[in-house]
């Protein structure tokens, strides 16, 4: 028997111990006459024990333990005979398949760089190959601590048991001094923002804004705002930097009174975030920003689905993770948005949840839709929707809290805005989702 077709490499799912394998699901395009089982087996062998030609030391005993297992080859549509293929697939057109390939946990253990090398690796240089999902076995997930705080822990820190949470990104994104940032911070916090974060574009020490100075100034602003509003404000300070500086940056935040850290997790690498999350010295929540992640996920036929990246962020310890909604500046599909939210909140063995954080052009007129989609366990990420409010950032924050209160009390925004000048000004400026085409607000 051709070894590419042997039961050793092509078992049934029921013929393996699924807890021994990370099972990857791919979308793969092939030429009309290309043999898909051979293609799937070639991909699996390339990413485990073999190469393009048999080598003497790759024995059947080695393959049994360490080679991939081809668990599914499904054509879309599901042709059964070549007559239909010849009738429907023109010369030069692709035939598309879903491949399910199991990779031994023993090859990866709990090594995130090796996970990427194994599951994606060389094969991502192929055209028409996209990683759709990974089924992580309990044996693999048990090696990760995951989020320290999660939804329940973040709510306990803030003392907010039920309502949606409000986040603000300081705007402008970068280029400002600590005193300028602290003034903006105070105005947003005192207006009712729960979590204020640095933008993804300002991290670590900048020549114009040193990390320790930024933390001290913003935490002083937080204390003043908290005393006035009677609520707690978290400051997610962006520590993004070269990997060797990350822990020092995190400790600078903590030693200067900071109560949350932020990292551009796909820029530094997920392993870097994991090292922070699993370090006992770092006892504050971690906010994971998804920037650069879309470079891996945006192509429909290449790369890695954002669903896989969200699951990995949870494994690697993010307490809060940003994903885009389909309504604002960006055009993620509704399906992928919802799947990313469920990947944050659904049961994942014994791992803690992640607080889903949606941002990118969020305005008060979007609050009812976002809460309808996600429920109350959502962190609304707002930048210009607060700092660009016609009455200033304090009023911008108040407008969002008014919108949140309206949703919590099942009051339509048009009714809720009566007598509330902050919410009225925001709706007059930006509208309500479903009444206007709010995509027209954004230049990108």
Q: Which residues are catalytic?
A: 171, 289
Residues 6+ apart with CB under 8 A from 425: 389, 390, 391, 395, 399
- Element containing residue 373 per DSSP (H, E): helix 367-374
Q: Decide if 26 contacts 98 (C-beta within 8 A).
A: yes
DSSP secondary structure of 394-426? HHHHHHHHHHHHHHHTT--HHHHTTT-HHHHHH
φ/ψ (deg, to 5) at 28: -130, 130
φ/ψ (deg, to 5) at 234: -90, 140
Residues 6+ apart with CB under 8 A from 392: 187
Distance CA 433, CA 438 (A): 6
333 by Cβ neighbours in 10 Å (0-12 / 13-18 / 19+) ranks as: exposed
Alpha carbon separation from 159 to 152, 154, 249, 398, 437 (Å, rounded):
10, 8, 27, 19, 36
Question: Strands of 129-135's sheet, edge to edge?
Answer: 69-76, 95-104, 21-30, 129-135, 302-304
Tokens of 274: 């994991």
| Positive or negative: CA dihedral 197, 259, 151, 136 | positive
Neighbours of 352 (CB within 10 A): 17
């Amino acid at each position: 028997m051709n070894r590419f077709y042997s039961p050793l490499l092509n078992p049934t799912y029921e013929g393996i111990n699924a807890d021994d394998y990370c099972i990857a699901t791919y979308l793969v395009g092939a030429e009309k006459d290309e043999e898909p089982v051979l293609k799937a087996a070639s991909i699996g062998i390339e990413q485990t024990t073999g190469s393009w030609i048999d080598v003497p030391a790759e024995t059947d005993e080695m393959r049994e333990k360490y080679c991939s297992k081809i668990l599914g080859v499904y054509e879309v549509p599901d042709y059964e005979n070549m007559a239909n293929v010849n009738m429907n697939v023109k010369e030069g057109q692709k035939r598309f398949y879903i491949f399910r390939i199991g990779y031994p946990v023993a090859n990866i253990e709990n090594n995130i760089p090796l996970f990427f090398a194994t599951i994606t690796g060389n094969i991502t240089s192929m055209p028409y190959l996209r990683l759709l999902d990974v089924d992580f076995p309990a044996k693999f997930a048990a090696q990760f601590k995951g989020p320290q705080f999660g939804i329940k822990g973040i709510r306990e820190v803030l003392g907010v048991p039920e309502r949606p949470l409000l986040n603000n990104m300081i705007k402008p994104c970068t280029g400002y001094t600590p005193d300028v940032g602290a003034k903006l911070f105070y105005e947003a916090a005192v207006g009712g923002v729960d979590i204020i974060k640095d933008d993804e574009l300002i991290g670590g020490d900048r020549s114009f804004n040193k990390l320790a100075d930024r933390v001290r100034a913003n935490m002083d602003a937080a204390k003043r705002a908290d005393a006035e509003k009677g609520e707690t404000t978290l400051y997610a300070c962006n520590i993004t930097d070269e990997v060797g500086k990350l822990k020092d940056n995190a400790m600078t935040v903590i030693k200067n009174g900071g109560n949350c850290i932020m990292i551009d997790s796909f820029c530094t690498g997920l392993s870097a975030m994991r090292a922070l999350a699993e370090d006992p010295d770092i006892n504050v929540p971690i906010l994971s920003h998804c920037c650069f992640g879309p470079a891996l996920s945006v192509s429909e036929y290449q790369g890695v689905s954002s669903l896989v990246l969200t699951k990995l962020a949870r494994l690697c310890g993010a307490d809060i993770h940003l994903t885009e909604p389909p309504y604002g500046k960006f055009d993620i599909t509704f399906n992928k948005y919802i799947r990313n939210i469920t990947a944050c909140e659904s049961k994942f063995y014994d791992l803690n949840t992640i607080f889903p954080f949606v941002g990118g052009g969020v305005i008060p007129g979007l609050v009812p839709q976002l809460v309808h989609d996600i429920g109350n366990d959502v962190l609304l990420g707002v930048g210009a929707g607060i700092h660009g409010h016609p009455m200033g950032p304090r009023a911008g924050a108040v407008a969002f809290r008014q919108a949140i209160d309206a949703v919590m009390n099942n009051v339509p925004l048009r009714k809720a805005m009566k007598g509330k000048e902050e919410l009225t000004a925001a709706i007059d400026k930006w509208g309500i989702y479903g009444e206007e085409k709010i995509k027209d607000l954004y230049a990108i």
